[in-house]
Amino acid sequence: MKFQFGEILTLGLCAVTAAYLLGNRRTIRALRSLRPFVVPFFLMTAAWTATVLEGIPSRTGGATIIFWEESADVARAGGIASELLNLVEHLGYAAASIWLLVVLWRGFRTPREAMP
C-alpha cells in the first residue's frame, strides 16, 4: 500500500475535529472569532481526503495503485480519477489559503478612523 502514516494520521485527526465541529454547531456559531476558520478547515478536509483516496490499492494484488498512474494499464483505468482527486486536493489547499488570507487581512487591517 502507498499510504503514508502522516496522511492517515492527519485525516484521522481531521475526522475527529470535523465530528466535533458538526456536533457542536451551536457553540461554534456563538464563538464569532472562530466562525471564519470553519470553512477553510472543511476545504482542507476535502484536500486531505483526496490525498488519502489517491492511495487506495487496486484489486490486482500488485504494488500498483488504482488512482496513481504507475503503469499504462492503471493509467487507463484510473487516470481520470487520479486527475480529479489531484485537482480537488490542490483546489482545496488553494481555496483554504485564499480564504485564510482574506480573513486575516480583514482582521488585522487598521481601521480608517485610527489612521493619522
Domain ranges of the chain: 5-114
Per-residue pLDDT of 40-55, as tens digits, reads: 999 999 999 988 887 7
Q: Is pLDDT of 66 > 50?
A: no
Q: Is pLDDT of 2 > 50?
A: yes
Could you give the CA distance from residue 2 to residue 113 in angstroms, rounded to a whole number?
55
Residues belonging to the chain: 116
